[in-house]
C-alpha cells in the first residue's frame, strides 16, 4: 500500500460520494492510494451499508479489503441517491421498511444521522433519532457552551442538548470539532465533565468520537510555554523603585501572578497583599468574571481609611463552586475551607460596583426632607439601581436654588434617617419593628433596597443592625436564637424576666396564668410540668417576638437587600459584612485622618504645620472638635466608606478667614493665619457652626411616614 499523494492523484474524487472535498470534520480523512488509483473518505467507507471490515487494521484501507471496496462500489453504482438522483448511493436507511439510499454528503445535507458505533447505522431524515423536547422553561437564548454564541434552547438537528446538564446546549458542528480534537479519552460534558452518559448520547445523535488521544497530547512540546512564568508587575502604579521587572522572593517585592490567567503580575506591596498566600486576580480577569455574573439582573417580583481603587485592590480569589446547600451549611463549609474565603469588604463592594453602568441618573433631593425625596426617586419606574448616581440638592420651590451635591453626603444623610426610622426598633443595635403603615407602603423593601444601593454606590457603613437581624439575613431565621437584648418592648421583656426568674413550678404557672392571653395569641402557651420548662417557654417567646412577629417585614426587607446582588454576598461572606452592618467604624487617629488628604497645590508650610498640630491637639483631647467632625465638615460623612472616598480627599491653604469645604469634590480649604491660636479658633468655630446647623436640619426633617403611629398589634 502506498498512501503518498502525488500531484497526478490529488484530483481523484472519493470512489463512493464522487466529491473531491477534503473536509475531515464532515467526511473524515480523505486518503488517496496511488497503487490502486482511487481516493476515499473515511466516513463514506465506514457508513457504506454493504461492506464489512474483514481484514486487520494494517490490511487494505483501515482493515477494509480492496476487493470488498471494489464490490461495494459496484453495488452502489446500481443505487440511485434519493437526494441528488445520481448513482453510487452506498448508504441506506437502517429502518427495514425504508428504501432511501444516499451519498454521505447528500445525507448530511438532508440532516441524516450517522452513528459511528456498533453496526454504524444510518438514519434518513424521516427516521433519524431525536432528543426529547422538554417544556421550554428558558425565556431567552442560551450560549453554546463551546463557542459561546447564543442558540435557541430547543433540540434540533443542529442544536443538541447535554443529557447530563439540562442547561448545556451545543452546536452540532462545535461538538464534532471538539470530539475530533479531544478523542475518546477527553471528550466529555463541558459543564459537569461526565463522560459515559454524555458520549453515549452524542454517539446516538451522530457525533463521531475517534478512538485516539487528544490532539494537544500528540503535539510535540505542546506545553513548553507553561514552563515559563510571568515575573513582572503590571499594576498601573508600580511602587517598586527598582522597576517592574524586579522580583525578590520572600519579600514585599515578590511578584504574585494572577490566579486566573497567570499572564499578569503584581508586587505584593503594589496591591497591598499581606502575604503570598493571598490570591490575586488581574483587572481583565475580574472584569470578565463580574460582567458575566451581572449580565442579566433578575427582575424584581414586587411592584410598586484608605482610598481603594479598582486597579489596586483586586486581591482575593473567587469563591469555589460549591454544591447547592443551605446557607448555614455553606457558611460552615466556607469556614472549614479556611482563610482563603475571608475577603476584604472593600474588595467585595468594588466587585459589586462593576455592574454600575456609565449611564447616569440624577436624583433631585430636597434637603428639608431627604427621606421623602429619596423614597420618591427610588420608587420611580425610571430609576435603575445599576445606573451611576448624581445628586442635585433643591431647596423647596425657590428659583435658582439647585446645586450639585455629594453622593456620599446624600447616602450618609439617608443612612442616618434609616437608623432613626420606625421600621427599626432598639437603641443601638436595631431589629425590625412591626409597623403596619410601613408594611402597607412596602417600606421595608425600600429600606432594604436603600441599604444595598448605599453599599454598592460607595455610601458609609450602616453599622446599626443587631447581630440577631444580621444572622437572620446571613444564615436564615430558623438558625438564630434571639436574646433578651433584642426585645425593646418593656412589657414583653418583663414577662420574659418573670418567667426566667421563677424559682418553682407554682410561681411559673402563676406567671403563665397572669399573661395567658399574650401567650395564647402568640402561640407560646405550653403545658409546664417541671421548672425546667421555663427555658423552652422563654425561647419560644423570644423567637416569636423578635422573628416570627416580623416575618412579613423581614421577607420584604430581605428582598430589598437582593438589589445589585448584595444579599447573596452577605450570605457568602458573612464575616466581612458583619463588621460594617453591625459595628460603627473605629475612631480616626490624627495620622489616619491626615493620610486621607492629599495636598492639592503647593501649600503654605506654616499652615500645614498648624493643621498637623490641630489634629494632634484633637487626638490628645485638647479640643471639643473631633476627627469625625472634621471629616463630616469636609465630606458630609463622619466615617470613611468601605470603598473609600470618590473623589479622594484633598486640601489646600488659602488666605481666607475660615475653612471652606467643597463636599462635591471632597476638597478642604485651610485658612492661612499668622498664629496657631487663630487657626484653631477659626477651625473650631466653622466646624461647630456647621454641625449645629446640621443637627437643626435633622431635628426638623424626621421622615413623617416612618415616624407615624405604628399601629402595632400589641398582644399584652
**What CATH number did the domain enclosing 49 receive?**
3.30.40.10
In a domain, 462, yes or no: yes
- Same-domain pairing of 580 and 594: no
- Same-domain pairing of 464 and 446: yes
Band of pLDDT at residue 322, cut at 50, 70 and 90: very low
Structure letter (DSSP) for residue 195: -
Domain that holds residue 193: 142-217
CA dist., res. 131 & res. 547, Å (int): 49
- Which of 418, 423, 431, 447 has its CA nearest to residue 482? 431
- Same-domain pairing of 465 and 529: yes
CA dist., res. 283 & res. 554, Å (int): 37
In a domain, 663, yes or no: yes
In a domain, 530, yes or no: yes
Residue 321: per-residue pLDDT: 35
- Spatial contact of 115 and 91, defined as CB atoms under 8 Å apart: no
Q: Taking the mean position of all CA atoms in its chain, how far away is CA 111?
A: 41
Cell of 544: 416569636
CA dist., res. 556 & res. 305, Å (int): 33
Structure letter (DSSP) for residue 198: H
- Give the relative orientation of helices 574-582 and 467-475 as an angle to the nearest 10 degrees: 150
Band of pLDDT at residue 698, cut at 50, 70 and 90: low
- Spatial contact of 307 and 347, defined as CB atoms under 8 Å apart: no
- Same-domain pairing of 419 and 510: yes
Lowest mean pLDDT among 101-115, 184-198, 386-400: 386-400
Q: What percent of the chain has pLDDT over 90?
A: 29
- Same-domain pairing of 518 and 657: no
Task: Quickly list DSSP for 676-689.
Answer: HHHHHHHHHHHHHH
- Spatial contact of 323 and 292, defined as CB atoms under 8 Å apart: no
- Which of 445, 466, 481, 362 has its CA nearest to residue 410? 362
- Which of 412, 411, 426 has its CA nearest to residue 466? 426
Beta bridge partners of 255: 267
- The answer on pLDDT for 535 being more than 50 is yes
Exposed/middle/buried for 588, CB within 10 Å: 0-12, 13-18, 19+?
buried
Cell of 209: 468520537
CA dist., res. 61 & res. 237, Å (int): 64
- Spatial contact of 74 and 96, defined as CB atoms under 8 Å apart: no
Summarised one tens digit per residue, pLDDT across range 628-651 is 888 888 888 888 898 888 888 888
- Same-domain pairing of 405 and 481: yes
- Which of 88, 96, 49, 94 has its CA nearest to residue 68? 49
> Does the model's pTM come out above 0.85?
no
Beta bridge partners of 266: 256
- The answer on pLDDT for 120 being more than 70 is yes
Q: Which residues contact 321 (CB under 8 A, 6 or more apart)?
A: none
Band of pLDDT at residue 110, cut at 50, 70 and 90: very high
In a domain, 16, yes or no: no
Residue 262: per-residue pLDDT: 82
Q: β-strand 38-41 against 91-92: which pairing, if any? A: unpaired
- The answer on pLDDT for 660 being more than 70 is yes
End-to-end Cα distance, the chain: 100
Summarised one tens digit per residue, pLDDT across range 364-420 is 888 778 888 888 888 888 889 889 888 888 876 544 577 788 888 888 888 888 888
Average of per-residue pLDDT values in the chain: 82
- Same-domain pairing of 160 and 46: no
- Spatial contact of 286 and 243, defined as CB atoms under 8 Å apart: no
In a domain, 272, yes or no: no
Cell of 34: 496511488
In a domain, 184, yes or no: yes
Q: Which residues contact 602 (CB under 8 A, 6 or more apart)?
A: none
Summarised one tens digit per residue, pLDDT across range 33-48 is 888 888 999 999 999 9
- Same-domain pairing of 150 and 199: yes
- Apex CA 122: angle with CA 118 and CA 124, to 5°? 155
Residue 196: per-residue pLDDT: 92
- Spatial contact of 447 and 431, defined as CB atoms under 8 Å apart: no
Omega prior to 647 cis, within 30 of 0: yes
Q: Which of 549, 584, 619 is the last residue of a domain?
A: 584
Lowest mean pLDDT among 110-114, 214-218, 345-349, 674-678: 214-218
- Sequence-ordered strand ranges (E) for 507-624: 598-599
- Same-domain pairing of 197 and 181: yes
Structure letter (DSSP) for residue 432: E
Residue with cell 487663630: 678
- The answer on pLDDT for 327 being more than 90 is no
Pick the residue with more confidence: 607 or 312?
607
- Same-domain pairing of 524 and 637: no
Q: Which of 168, 188, 217 is the last residue of a domain?
A: 217
- The answer on pLDDT for 294 being more than 90 is no
CATH number at residue 574: 3.90.1750
Number of domains in the chain: 4
- Which of 623, 636, 624, 638 has its CA nearest to residue 593? 638
Q: What are phi and psi of 686, to 5 degrees?
A: -65, -40
Residue 688: per-residue pLDDT: 86
CA dist., res. 91 & res. 123, Å (int): 9
Q: Which of 584, 619, 645 is the last residue of a domain?
A: 584
Task: Count other C-beta atoms under 10 Å from residue 663's C-beta.
Answer: 20
- Same-domain pairing of 565 and 615: no
In a domain, 607, yes or no: yes
- Give the relative orientation of helices 505-514 and 490-500 as an angle to the nearest 10 degrees: 160
Band of pLDDT at residue 714, cut at 50, 70 and 90: very low
Residue 339: per-residue pLDDT: 36
- Same-domain pairing of 410 and 550: yes
Residue 227: per-residue pLDDT: 67
Summarised one tens digit per residue, pLDDT across range 231-285 is 899 887 788 888 999 998 888 888 988 888 888 899 988 876 777 777 788 877 7
Residue 326: per-residue pLDDT: 44
Q: Which residues contact 369 (CB under 8 A, 6 or more apart)?
A: 701, 703
Residue 62: per-residue pLDDT: 85
- Spatial contact of 264 and 282, defined as CB atoms under 8 Å apart: yes
Exposed/middle/buried for 675, CB within 10 Å: 0-12, 13-18, 19+?
exposed
- The answer on pLDDT for 332 being more than 70 is no
- Spatial contact of 533 and 508, defined as CB atoms under 8 Å apart: yes
Structure letter (DSSP) for residue 84: T
In a domain, 330, yes or no: no
Residue 366: per-residue pLDDT: 83
CA dist., res. 206 & res. 209, Å (int): 9
- Spatial contact of 419 and 451, defined as CB atoms under 8 Å apart: no
CA dist., res. 208 & res. 113, Å (int): 11
Summarised one tens digit per residue, pLDDT across range 135-179 is 555 557 888 999 989 888 888 999 999 998 878 899 999 999 999
Band of pLDDT at residue 602, cut at 50, 70 and 90: low
Q: What percent of the chain has pLDDT over 70?
A: 84
Cell of 375: 423614597
Cell of 680: 484653631
Band of pLDDT at residue 603, cut at 50, 70 and 90: low
CA dist., res. 564 & res. 453, Å (int): 7
- Mean pLDDT, residues 671-681 taken together: 89
Amino acid at each position: 500500500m502506498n498512501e503518498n499523494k502525488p500531484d497526478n492523484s490529488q484530483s481523484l474524487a472519493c470512489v463512493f460520494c464522487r466529491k473531491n472535498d477534503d473536509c475531515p470534520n464532515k467526511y473524515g480523512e480523505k486518503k488517496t492510494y496511488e497503487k490502486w488509483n482511487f481516493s476515499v473518505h473515511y466516513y463514506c467507507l465506514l457508513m457504506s451499508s454493504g461492506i464489512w471490515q474483514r481484514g486487520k487494521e494494517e490490511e487494505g484501507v483501515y482493515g477494509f479489503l480492496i476487493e470488498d471496496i471494489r464490490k461495494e462500489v459496484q453495488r452502489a453504482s446500481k443505487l440511485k441517491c434519493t437526494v441528488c438522483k445520481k448513482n453510487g448511493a452506498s448508504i441506506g436507511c437502517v429502518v427495514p421498511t425504508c428504501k432511501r439510499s444516499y451519498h454521505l454528503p447528500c445525507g448530511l445535507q438532508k440532516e441524516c444521522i450517522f452513528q459511528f458505533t456498533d453496526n454504524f447505522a444510518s438514519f434518513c431524515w424521516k427516521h433519524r433519532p431525536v432528543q426529547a423536547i422538554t417544556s421550554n422553561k428558558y425565556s431567552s437564548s442560551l450560549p453554546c457552551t463551546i463557542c459561546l454564541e447564543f442558540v435557541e434552547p430547543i433540540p434540533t438537528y443542529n442544536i443538541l442538548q447535554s443529557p447530563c446538564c439540562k442547561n448545556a446546549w451545543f452546536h452540532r458542528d462545535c461538538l464534532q470539532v471538539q470530539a475530533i480534537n479531544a478523542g475518546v479519552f477527553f471528550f466529555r460534558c463541558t459543564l459537569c465533565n461526565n463522560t459515559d452518559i454524555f458520549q453515549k448520547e452524542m454517539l446516538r445523535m451522530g457525533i463521531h468520537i475517534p478512538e485516539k488521544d487528544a490532539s494537544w497530547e500528540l503535539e510535540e512540546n505542546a506545553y513548553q510555554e507553561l514552563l515559563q512564568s510571568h515575573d513582572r508587575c503590571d499594576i498601573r502604579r508600580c511602587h517598586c523603585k527598582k522597576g517592574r521587572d524586579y522580583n525578590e522572593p520572600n519579600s514585599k517585592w515578590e511578584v504574585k501572578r494572577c490566579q486566573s490567567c497567570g499572564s499578569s503580575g503584581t508586587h505584593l506591596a503594589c496591591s497591598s497583599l499581606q502575604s503570598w498566600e493571598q490570591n490575586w486576580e488581574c483587572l481583565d480577569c475580574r472584569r470578565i468574571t463580574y460582567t458575566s455574573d451581572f449580565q442579566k439582573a433578575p427582575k424584581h417580583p414586587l411592584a410598586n481609611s484608605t482610598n481603594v481603587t479598582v486597579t489596586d485592590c483586586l486581591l482575593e480569589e473567587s469563591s469555589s463552586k460549591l454544591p447547592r446547600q443551605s446557607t448555614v451549611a455553606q457558611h460552615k463549609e466556607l469556614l472549614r475551607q479556611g482563610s482563603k474565603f475571608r475577603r476584604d469588604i472593600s474588595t467585595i463592594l468594588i466587585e459589586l460596583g462593576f455592574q454600575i453602568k456609565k449611564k447616569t441618573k440624577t436624583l433631585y433631593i430636597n434637603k428639608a426632607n431627604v427621606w421623602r425625596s429619596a423614597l420618591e426617586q427610588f420608587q420611580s419606574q425610571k430609576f435603575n439601581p445599576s445606573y451611576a448616581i448624581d445628586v442635585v440638592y433643591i431647596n423647596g420651590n425657590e428659583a435658582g436654588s439647585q446645586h450639585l451635591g455629594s453622593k456620599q453626603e446624600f447616602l450618609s444623610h439617608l443612612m442616618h434617617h434609616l437608623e432613626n426610622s420606625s421600621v427599626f426598633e432598639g437603641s443601638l443595635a436595631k431589629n425590625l419593628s412591626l409597623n403596619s403603615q410601613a408594611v402597607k407602603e412596602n417600606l421595608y423593601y425600600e429600606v432594604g433596597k436603600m441599604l444595598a444601593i448605599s453599599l454598592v454606590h460607595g455610601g458609609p457603613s450602616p453599622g446599626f443592625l443587631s447581630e440577631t437581624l444580621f444572622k437572620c439575613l446571613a444564615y436564615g431565621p430558623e438558625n438564630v436564637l434571639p436574646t433578651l437584648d433584642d426585645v425593646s418592648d418593656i412589657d414583653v421583656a418583663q414577662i420574659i424576666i418573670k418567667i426566667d426568674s421563677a424559682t418553682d413550678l407554682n410561681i411559673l404557672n402563676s406567671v403563665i396564668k397572669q399573661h395567658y392571653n399574650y401567650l395564647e395569641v402568640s402561640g407560646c402557651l405550653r403545658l409546664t410540668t417541671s421548672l425546667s420548662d421555663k427555658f423552652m417557654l422563654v425561647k419560644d417567646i423570644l423567637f416569636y417576638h423578635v422573628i416570627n412577629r416580623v416575618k412579613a417585614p423581614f421577607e420584604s426587607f430581605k428582598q430589598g437587600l437582593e438589589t445589585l446582588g448584595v444579599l447573596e454576598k452577605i450570605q457568602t461572606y458573612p464575616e466581612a459584612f458583619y463588621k460594617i452592618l453591625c459595628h460603627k467604624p473605629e475612631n480616626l487617629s490624627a495620622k489616619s485622618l491626615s493620610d486621607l488628604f492629599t495636598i492639592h497645590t503647593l501649600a503654605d508650610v506654616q499652615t500645614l504645620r498648624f493643621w498637623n498640630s490641630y489634629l494632634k491637639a484633637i487626638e490628645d483631647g485638647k479640643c471639643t472638635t473631633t476627627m469625625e467632625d472634621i471629616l463630616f465638615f469636609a465630606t458630609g460623612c463622619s466615617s470613611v466608606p468601605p470603598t473609600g472616598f470618590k473623589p479622594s480627599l484633598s486640601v489646600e491653604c488659602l488666605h481666607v478667614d475660615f475653612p471652606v469645604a467643597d463636599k462635591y469634590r471632597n476638597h478642604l480649604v485651610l485658612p492661612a493665619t499668622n498664629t496657631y491660636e487663630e487657626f484653631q479658633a477659626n477651625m473650631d468655630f466653622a466646624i461647630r457652626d456647621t454641625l449645629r446647623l446640621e443637627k437643626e436640619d435633622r431635628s426638623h426633617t424626621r421622615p413623617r411616614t416612618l415616624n407615624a403611629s405604628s399601629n402595632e398589634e400589641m398582644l399584652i
